[in-house]
Amino acid sequence: MMKAKELKQLASGRWESIVASLAPQLAQAIERLPHHVPCPVHGGVDGFRLFRDFDETGGGVCNTCGIQHDGHTLIMWA
């Protein structure tokens, strides 16, 4: 069984394609990276953005929902 640390290493540099495939509701954020867009969970105007190092970490932040530090937590949250 693959461990989380090993999976993170394999996904590093590939998060954009992984998230685009598994969480299509984040497409606008990927297209506009690193600019603010509506939160994919609750909407709004511009409270969500992906981190500048998104392709390496998979992380993002919503001003209301909080920080999703990596791609694993981001996909589960979205």
Measured distance CA(53)–CA(61) in Å, rounded: 12
Q: What is the pLDDT of residue 4?
A: 82
Q: Which residue carries 């190092």 as its tokens?
A: 53
Q: By CB neighbour count within 10 A (0-12 exposed, 13-18 middle, 19+ buried), where does 12 fall?
A: middle
pTM for the full predicted model: 0.90
The model's pLDDT over 1-47, given as tens digits with 9 standing for 90+, comes to 678 889 889 999 999 999 999 999 999 999 999 999 999 999 999 99
